[in-house]
């Protein structure tokens, strides 16, 4: 029986390491209000709109860049060269931004924050019509 105790302890330690690893390989979710505060306090971040080009042109958060969710795959993204940079991801309602955030994490991005949908944005928008 005493021989099993070290093995069980090792198993618990390895399980704990795996759980924290999963947290590190994920993205954070915050509300749009929290995102506005973060934008006021932080610098050097990217605002990423993952809607279609047409939706983006109709109106987007100022200074956002557009990379549609559907185009994010397994290849490197030239517009996002720094994988440690803070990237705030949004779409229309929050569904595509969650999908895109997961894909970005899979590509090795380490500082992804999903902020929901532009439907909850209270600030000005920029239109390219």
Q: Which residues are annotated as catalytic?
A: 91
Question: Would you call 50 helix, strand, or coil by DSSP?
Answer: coil
Q: Report whether 59 contacts 49 (CB < 8 A).
A: no
Q: How far is CA 37 from CA 13, 16, 91, 119, in A?
A: 38, 33, 19, 17
Alpha carbons 47 and 115: distance in angstroms, whole number: 10
Q: Which two tokens stand for residue 13?
A: 């330690």
């Amino acid at each position: 029986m005493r021989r099993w105790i070290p093995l069980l302890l090792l198993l618990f330690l390895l399980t704990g390491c795996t759980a924290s690893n999963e947290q590190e390989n994920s993205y954070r979710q915050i509300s749009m209000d929290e995102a506005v505060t973060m934008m006021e306090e932080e610098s050097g971040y990217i605002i990423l709109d993952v809607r279609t080009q047409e939706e983006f042109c109709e109106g987007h958060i100022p200074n956002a860049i557009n990379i549609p969710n559907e185009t994010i795959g397994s290849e490197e993204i030239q517009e996002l060269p720094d994988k440690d940079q803070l990237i705030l991801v949004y779409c229309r309602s929050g569904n595509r931004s969650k999908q895109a955030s997961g894909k970005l994490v899979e590509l090795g991005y380490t500082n992804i924050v999903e902020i929901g949908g532009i439907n909850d944005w209270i600030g000005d928008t920029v239109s390219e019509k």
